[in-house]
Amino acid sequence: MRISILLLLGSVALLAACHSAPAASTARTKPVAPSVAARACSAGSASPARCTQHRRPRVLADAGVWAGGLSLALHQGRTSTCWAYAANGLLESAWLQAHPGDTLRLSPMYVVRRKYLKQLEGYYYSQGREEIRAGGLAHDYLNVAREEGLMPLDAYPGKPVGQPRHDHHRLLKALRKLAAMAVVRRDLPTYRAKAEVLLDRALGAVPDSFLFRGQSYTPRSFARSLQLPLDGYEQLTSFSHRPEGSSYVLEVPDNWAHGTFLNVSLDELERRVMQALQRGEAVAWHGDVSETSYQSPQGVAWWPQSPVTAAMRQRAYEQFATTDDHYLLLVGLAHDAAGRRFYLLKDSYGRYAPYRGLIYMSADYFRMKTLSVLLKACS
């Protein structure tokens, strides 16, 4: 099955209002009549291996997938900081959409550094009950950007000179020890200063000011100069154990900041994502990539059952079969020869595999394994 690009950010921005797109039931492509093998997969009477062989799409990359509004994939290395890279790409995409041809790259590791310090403070004030972890959610990036500013990638690469990849394994162990000692000694200022020195060695010192295109900035003044819509995003999720239309703290391990999410129907979630992409806007995607049908070396993720219902995804969530794994950046839409829709997502492990860091995700995988999305709010 050859997948063809229908829409990629920056190519065409369709001016669709938040509530003007077709309903999800009509927006999805009409399903192809299932074969006997496909019906056996859906009924659960065929082996997983046979279902995998039957459902896996054979895809070929289209030329020119790197378009305006989409920055090249960066590499998060041995860190659990995908949340920062996805949110970083989200803001870069918003900037590039408004400034075609620009080369702005933001520093995800500046935000990660500030987040680590916030977690150290949270650990201290909770007397050790909070946690210091590399994981996070996209709202953590926005919170830092609003409070602590942003930096360009060139001004803060976030790793020592000569180190090929980011690696925070030892750093996190050391930060946790400092946080524990701060609680024992009841002395946050001293141990926060020690944490700053540790972060300087591991990630590089943050300069008091830096030059960007001939102008001097601090992180806060730089963020203000970009005029990015930091308060113009909202987080959506879709689970039936909370009332539809309510906002609640999503129960996943990486929601350490207790961020709230608007709970919508599964069809509404997909409709809102489709509308954003049709307006030329990127979307930060948060979900489960632990399935065997998520194959990043091949650049494809698919789901062997169709259609996917809200009850199916709720059951997987409650049985911990849908896990809090990864963040990627939704950047476009595609379809295969049978007319089935795929989402294009940018990963944060560099330009690898056939599609240079892009993943083709089937609509059924999206419906089954999405935990949340961050996108521009409806005006």
Mean per-residue pLDDT over the chain, rounded = 84
Instruction: Report pLDDT for 327.
Output: 97
Instruction: Report pLDDT for 3.
Output: 54
Instruction: Report pLDDT for 37.
Output: 38
Residue 15: pLDDT band (50, 70, 90) is very low
Q: What percent of the chain shows pLDDT beyond 90?
A: 69
Q: Which CATH architecture has domain 4-67+230-376?
A: Alpha-Beta Complex (3.90)
Instruction: Report pLDDT for 353.
Output: 76
Instruction: Report pLDDT for 338.
Output: 81
Total-model pTM: 0.85
- The label of the residue with tokens 């999503």 reads 250
> What b-and-e string marks burial along 207-246, b requiring 16 or more CB atoms within 10 Å of the CB?
eeebeeeeeebebeebbeebebebeebbbbbbbbebeeee
Checking if the pLDDT of 1 tops 60, the result is: no
The 10s digit of each residue's pLDDT in 43-56 is 333 333 334 433 44
Closest CA to 306 of 324, 293, 320: 293
Average of per-residue pLDDT across 197-222: 97
Contacts of 65 (CB under 8 A, 6+ apart): 5, 8, 344, 355, 356, 358
Backbone angles phi, psi at 196, to 5 degrees: -60, -45
Which pairs count as long-range contacts for 170-175, CB under 8 Å and 24+ apart, including other chains? 170/202, 171/198, 171/199, 171/202, 171/203, 172/132, 172/133, 172/134, 174/198, 175/116, 175/120, 175/132
Domain regions of the chain by residue span: 4-67+230-376, 104-226
Residue 101: pLDDT band (50, 70, 90) is confident
Strands 260-263 and 233-237: parallel
Instruction: Report pLDDT for 69.
Output: 64
Sign of CA dihedral 85, 91, 95, 98: positive
The 10s digit of each residue's pLDDT in 306-333 is 999 999 999 999 999 999 999 999 999 8
The 10s digit of each residue's pLDDT in 182-199 is 999 999 999 999 999 999
Contacts of 289 (CB under 8 A, 6+ apart): 296, 301, 325, 326, 369
- Report how far residue 36's alpha carbon sits from residue 171's, in angstroms, rounded to the nearest whole number: 53
The 10s digit of each residue's pLDDT in 168-181 is 999 999 999 999 99
